[in-house]
Structure 1
Amino acid sequence: MSSAAAAAWWARSRIRILLPVIFLAPALFFLLSPPSSPPFFFTLPTSREESPSASGSRVIWAQRRVVEWRPCGWWRAAMPAPARRNGYIRIDCYGGLNQLRRDLCDGIAVARLLNATMVLPKFEVAAYWNESRGYVEVVKDMPEEIASKEPYRVDCSKRKGHFDYVETVLPALLEHQYISLTPAMSQRRDRNPSYAKASYCQSCYNALRLNKNVETKAIELLQAIPKPFLSLHLRFEPDMVAYSRCIYTGLSSKSLSAIEAARGEDRKALTGEAARLWRNRGKCPLTPSETAFILKALGIPTDTNIYLAAGDGLMELEGFTSIYKNIYTKSSLLTHEDFEKMHGNTKAALDYYVSVNSDAYVATFFGNMDKMVTAMRTMQGHQKTLVLSRRAYANYTAVGLSGEHLAMAMWDAHREEYIMGRGSALPEQCFCEFKL
């Protein structure tokens, strides 16, 4: 074949030849990479230029942020509810403090969606009070002819969007005038019209408050903590570890027994390859000693005042307190009598209030409590907020990093998270990204 003919053939055929190569290249790279290499989404540190020294002289909060989540402006404008009401809705709330708050906020959005008056629920322990009347009418008492009968129960377990509520729940409200419901956990709030979304945001972040008695006790607790301080939501309780289905080595026999007692038949620990993949996905709770290691890697001084926002039954705590010694808890700051008679939801409310108002907040798990706290801190402009990456820690230790090399890797992972403003708010609908 002449050179001219070859050139013409190449011009006609190059797209057909190159396209498969372009699309297969990532797959070939992944398949041919040695198994000991870290996952492609993690980069091993190559320089100490941005990393703190082993003594922790540079703290993560000193990094200049380039992005922040802030409350969006659209929902803060007045959107008063129509004068005419379609009936009364009682929101039935169950579970812990975080579940109560979620159901209340969702319930207010549903009440606005259906143009109903919301009847304040009766809690086992009065955890919240509400001032959202500008968006949804809220009452404690109803007309006698309504209050004298039990509300008609509506099953909302499968409701996802506003059409579900309008088409299925509204007819029941119009017929019975008084209904009760628990908002579906699987709600698609993004499908709601703007006025219902605004009511949700307003109720969660402007109107909903802890009740007066709980808030008074929370303020007392906050004032007793030496300032400045970091609030740490540390999660390493037997039931949580059992639920995670993770296996840990080096734990005390007491901790192992507690985990096994909480595990039960339906929470068998994963083993082999399944356990490795599960851990590398970041599904295993950080131990207190792992948490202390990461905090040191982030430059948090070991003499920092730390408030432990945690439930009862924390295990292996000496792995943390052997490094960070200025530790404060509810039980150490409140009188014994005060603490012992408190309901679990009240204890959680105190942790919530202190964490929202702390100088810095670090979470080891992004659960409901952490979502509440980080969102409220964002509302108030408190940007020293970080969720530790269990996934990064698992993947870096899986490829053999330890000591100073592991500390450098954790610094890089969390620095990126912090300067980009991720993990510090709920961008779901009430918060927007602002470049700095």
Structure 2
Amino acid sequence: MGVVVVMSLGSAVCISCVKILEGFSGGGISCGVVGEVSDGQLWDAPLSYGFHPCVKPSPKYKGPQELGRYITVRSNGGLNQMRTGISDMIVVARIMNATLVIPQLDKKSFWRDSSAFSDIFDEFHFITTLQEDVRIVKELPKELESVPRARKHFTSWAGMSYYEEMTQLWNDHQVIHVAKSDSRLANNDLPLDIQRLRCRALYHALRFSTPIEDLGKKLVERLRSHGGKYIALHLRYEKDMLSFTGCTYGLTDAEAEELRIMRENTNHWKIKKIDSVEQRVGGFCPLTPKEVGIFLRALGYPQSTLIYIASGEIYGGSTHLSEFKTRFPNLVFKDIVATPEELKGLANHASQTAALDYIISVESDVFVSSYSGNMARAVEGHRRFLGHRKTITPDRKNLVDVFDKVERGELNEGSLLSSIVTRMHANRQGGPRKRGGSLPGVKGRGRFRTEESFYENPYPECICSSKKHVQRT
């Protein structure tokens, strides 16, 4: 079924388009006629040019050594921050010739989830899948439980030489305890075998526990039974995210004040005073539910599109979702797709619930995220790894001007808006491209923070092709 997004023709449209686009900071947005959008254009994955996963180690790769050294880890953050952190720690254990003890999961974060490793992940599969890479045990040997440990907070985005230097810790200790697991490895400039081990750890070894996997697959089947295709929307409009980013656009004064107080009282959030307007103009705010609705309609998705919301509790609930639902009434959450009995065991276990969202998002026909957080980056990377499944990344910075013009009545939801938005996102569909480096002008260690995450785009190390041509997206 085709959807007409632009019917306008002639120079008048282009003249209007130029006027509306005045003031955009980004380039590459042009005017023209957009015709009928076919089902293929809406749902099909971008051309992948024969790219495929490649994670096998090189012929020189050797098995793990048994040297009586152990690393214990406390994984910090939410589900996907822990998943990528654990994958990093697998590599750290490999570099340092150590046995990894099954990591302890974060129980003190915003979600306060008491889940153990085996509640979320298939522990046996994790250990056996990586047995040719790193030795993994469920717990420390009894004789080492009480020995003094070297407690380390390894530096962020560290390379091979850093961890090779850290092996001197074994001169005085048999056990090293790592206080944080996230972002312990550099994104770039690591040996090929090291990068591929990260992919084997994340995409093969860290499989969810059987109950979560089974329920996730069952929910995907139910969504498909509704109409065959669905969008998974990671709507990052939760209280903690809005408070952390200081984004209050579209909120009431009372809601904005509530978020300010929350940010002020959260000790580990370093920045307390944030200019909400500057954040939004810079593209650092999650899109509001209304903005996402405008965005998806402008891309040509019909009102009947089935959309699964993969997120926690939306701040303001139905109040802020109402304008999204007027554009896409076929909106579903976990508690609609799953039965109360199926969700009963997941109550108060946010990480297990997030695992269901992750499965449904990876398997969706189209994945869209309103903000580039840990979940969005992890899902995008996994979908790239599995064949560059369609993943639409909103250009939040340039969309601000569009949304503001719509809000002021200077631009209507219709053909011209569709032309602008579709052209702006023609190359933001998840097609193959090499991972981005650091932003220009950033010096020192700060440049590592600006690099595109390895787990957001594991090309070229874990994605191969015999063809040389790579389409930029």
Q: Which residue of 2 aligns with 1:233?
A: 234
The CA deviation at 1:357 is 1.2
- Count of residue correspondences: 393
The CA deviation at 1:412 is 0.4
2:368 matched to 1:362? yes
Aligned residue for 1:180, secondary structure, equals strand
Q: In 2, distance between residues paired with 1:62 and 1:89?
A: 45
Q: Which residue of 1 aligns with 2:292?
A: 291
Q: In 2, distance between residues paired with 1:197 and 1:369?
A: 20
Matches within 5 A, 1:53-202: 60-61=41-42, 65=46, 70=51, 73=54, 75=56, 77=58, 79-85=61-67, 87-123=69-105, 124-125=114-115, 126=117, 127-128=120-121, 129=123, 130=126, 131-147=129-145, 149=147, 151-157=149-155, 160-167=158-165, 169-181=166-178, 182-183=180-181, 185=183, 187-202=185-200
Q: In 2, distance between residues paired with 1:429 and 1:365?
A: 26
Q: In 2, distance between residues paired with 1:432 and 1:396?
A: 38
Query: Structure 1: 5+ residue runs without aligned partners?
Result: 1-33
Q: What is the RMSD of the two structures over their aligned residues, measured on CA atoms?
A: 3.3
Q: Which residue of 1 aligns with 2:450?
A: none
Q: 124-133 or 70-79, which moves further after superposition?
A: 70-79
Q: In 2, distance between residues paired with 1:427 and 1:284?
A: 27
Deviations, residues 147-204 of structure 1 (Å, cap 9, x unaligned): 454643223146722222211x212134322222134636324243333223222211
- 1:301 alignment partner AA: P
2:279 matched to 1:264? no
Q: Which residue of 1 aligns with 2:324?
A: 320
Distance 1:247 1:312, change over 3 A: closer
Q: Which residue of 2 aligns with 1:435?
A: 470
2:424 matched to 1:413? yes
Distance 1:189 1:57, change over 3 A: closer
Q: In 1, distance between residues paired with 2:56 and 2:293?
A: 40
Distance 1:403 1:267, change over 3 A: farther
- 1:331 alignment partner AA: D
The two structures have a TM-score, normalised by structure 1, of 0.78
2:303 matched to 1:302? yes
Deviations, residues 332-363 of structure 1 (Å, cap 9, x unaligned): 23334634724111111110111111122111
Q: Which residue of 2 aligns with 1:37?
A: 22
Q: Which residue of 2 aligns with 1:29?
A: none
- 1:357 alignment partner AA: E
Aligned residue for 2:425, secondary structure, equals helix
The CA deviation at 1:426 is 4.2
Q: 347-356 or 189-198, which moves further after superposition?
A: 189-198
Contact 1:425 1:431 (C-alpha < 8 Å) held by counterparts: no
Q: Which residue of 2 aligns with 1:332?
A: 336
The CA deviation at 1:144 is 3.8
Aligned residue for 2:308, secondary structure, equals strand
- 1:330 alignment partner AA: K
- 2:419 alignment partner AA: M
Q: In 1, distance between residues paired with 2:103 and 2:56?
A: 25
- 1:46 alignment partner AA: C
Q: Which residue of 1 aligns with 2:353?
A: 347
Distance 1:374 1:420, change over 3 A: closer
Q: In 2, distance between residues paired with 1:362 and 1:73?
A: 26
Distance 1:110 1:376, change over 3 A: same
The two structures have a TM-score, normalised by structure 2, of 0.73
Q: In 2, distance between residues paired with 1:264 and 1:143?
A: 43
Distance 1:314 1:222, change over 3 A: farther
Q: 308-317 or 261-270, which moves further after superposition?
A: 261-270
Contact 2:298 2:413 (C-alpha < 8 Å) held by counterparts: no
Q: Which residue of 1 aligns with 2:280?
A: 279
Q: In 2, distance between residues paired with 1:366 and 1:428?
A: 21
- 2:201 alignment partner AA: S
Q: In 2, distance between residues paired with 1:392 and 1:148?
A: 56
Contact 1:60 1:415 (C-alpha < 8 Å) held by counterparts: no
Q: Which residue of 2 aligns with 1:47?
A: 32
Contact 2:58 2:193 (C-alpha < 8 Å) held by counterparts: no
Deviations, residues 388-419 of structure 1 (Å, cap 9, x unaligned): 22112113345754433332211101112228
The CA deviation at 1:387 is 1.5
Aligned residue for 1:190, secondary structure, equals coil
Q: 85-94 or 56-65, which moves further after superposition?
A: 56-65
Query: Structure 2: 5+ residue runs without aligned partners?
Result: 1-18, 106-113, 266-270, 436-455
Contact 1:159 1:187 (C-alpha < 8 Å) held by counterparts: yes
Q: Which residue of 2 aligns with 1:219?
A: 217
Contact 1:69 1:425 (C-alpha < 8 Å) held by counterparts: no
Q: 89-98 or 153-162, which moves further after superposition?
A: 153-162
Contact 1:88 1:173 (C-alpha < 8 Å) held by counterparts: no
Query: 1:425 aligned to 457, 462, 471, which one?
Result: 457
Q: Which residue of 1 aligns with 2:7?
A: none
The CA deviation at 1:242 is 2.9
- 1:96 alignment partner AA: G
Contact 1:117 1:137 (C-alpha < 8 Å) held by counterparts: yes
Distance 1:132 1:70, change over 3 A: farther
